[in-house]
Amino acid sequence: MSTFDPDALECLAAIVEEGGFERAAVRLSITQSAVSQRLRSLEAQVGTVLIVRSRPLKATAAGQLLLKHTKQMRLLRADLERDMKELAPSGSGTREEERVAIAINADSIATWALDALGDLVREGLPLEIITDDQDFTQEWLRGGQVLGCVTTLKAALRGCKVVPLGAMNYIAVCADSLPASQGIDLKKGLTAHHFRNVPFIAFNRKDDMQTEFIAKAFGLKRVGLHQLFVPSSLAQLRAVRDGWGVSVLPQMLVQQAIDSGELVHLLPDFSLPVQLYWHCWNLESEVLDNLTHAIQSSAKKLLK
């Protein structure tokens, strides 16, 4: 098998991660022509195109394989950096391109995940967190762009292992000060007869949490909602507080506001548990083992 130039591999990764040749050049501190030259050299060695020059740029199937290999090499270097730091504490820090990337859903980031990762970051882990809907974070792992992800999907990808984390409970809430909408007093609760007249605040167009919640709460096969989109869990909560409408959010994110009377729990007898799983490459790596342990330990304390 051919030996690939590490600088060329990092150049490929920089183009994909930064979304273009110019920003890749800035990150690598080389000229844009040097970026193009390294990519052409790597494509010549592989014998195929590695980047689709679209908007946004994206890796081809071959490019994704090389990107995954590059991420794995970063992980090995991160392990080495960790071991060397113990032997030579005064050594230089990790380079920008050595970042360890994982994908986590926004609701986990807003509630329990940052607590899980704090100690590792303070110890010097060069972490990059990519956020996406919990049903889609696994696609980042499948494409080799991250080394692990938190997802709702249970089935493991080839070459990966899965650790169950527990369930996040979701409930429907609105502001106590929310004005009557279409003559509906939501303080009396949400019903199957009037939910269509109420605006729901979703994360983005991928987010089916609002419709899934209503469908299961009222035993409906198909649900149509009037939705607003706010792509941040904490911003969704703020929008609810500001009276934009109803949202289905993690109970651990909103319980304090419910207890204080600021928010109204619209269906006290119903909640939707969403099972979460940690997927990561099945590699021997102290960095990866520490990540897995930290995420699993924190989830065990906070998830059901």
**Residues 249/106, Cβ–Cβ less than 8 Å:** no
Residues 63, 46: Cα–Cα separation, whole Å: 10
Indicate the number of domains in the chain. Answer: 2
Counting DSSP H helices and E strands in the chain, the numbers are 11, 11
In a domain, 140, yes or no: no
37-44, long-range: CB within 8 Å, 24+ apart, which pairs? 38/5, 38/7, 38/8, 38/11, 38/12, 39/8, 39/11, 39/12, 39/15, 41/5, 41/8, 42/4, 42/5, 42/8, 42/9, 42/11, 42/12, 42/66
Residue where a domain terminates, one of 43, 76, 109 = 76
User: Is residue 20 domain-resident?
Assistant: yes
pLDDT tens across the length of the chain (304 residues): 568 888 888 899 888 888 889 988 998 889 999 999 999 888 888 888 888 877 778 888 888 888 888 888 877 777 766 665 655 444 444 455 567 889 999 999 999 999 999 999 998 888 999 999 888 899 888 877 888 999 999 998 888 899 999 999 999 999 987 766 555 667 677 888 788 888 999 999 989 999 999 999 999 988 889 999 999 999 999 999 998 999 999 999 999 999 999 999 999 999 999 999 999 988 888 888 999 999 999 999 999 8
Last residue of a domain, one of 36, 60, 76: 76
Contact 182, 194 (CB under 8 A): yes
- The pTM of the full predicted model, rounded to 2 decimals, is 0.73
Domain boundary, last residue among 76, 111, 133:
76
Of 101, 87, 177, 89, give the one whose Cα is nearest residue 132.
Answer: 101
Q: For residue 91, what pLDDT is reported?
A: 47
Residue 262 neighbours by CB under 8 Å, 6+ apart: 175, 176, 241
Angle between helices 286-302 and 61-87 (to 10 degrees): 90
**Per the domain annotation, does 1 fall within a domain?**
yes
User: Does a structural domain hold residue 71?
Assistant: yes
CB 219 within 8 A of CB 245: no
- What pLDDT shows up at residue 203? 93
pLDDT at 90: 47
CATH of the domain at 40: 1.10.10.10
The answer to whether the CB of 244 falls within 8 A of the CB of 110 is: no
**Does residue 122 lie within any of the structural domains?**
no
Quick check: is 158 in a domain?
A: no
Confidence (pLDDT) at 252: 96
Residue type, 69: H
What's the confidence (pLDDT) of residue 116? 93
Peptide bond into 56 cis (omega under 30): yes
Nearest to 109 by CA among 99, 117, 101, 120: 117
Domain of 261, CATH number, reads: 3.40.190.10
User: What range defines the domain where residue 268 resides?
Assistant: 168-274
pLDDT mean across residues, the chain: 87
| pLDDT of amino acid 92 | 47
pLDDT digits 0-9 by tens, 186-206 = 767 788 878 888 899 999 998
- Residue 181 is predicted with a pLDDT of 58
In a domain, 155, yes or no: no
Burial 267-297 (b: 16+ CB within 10 A, else e): beeebbebbbbbbbbebebebbebbbebbee
In a domain, 282, yes or no: no
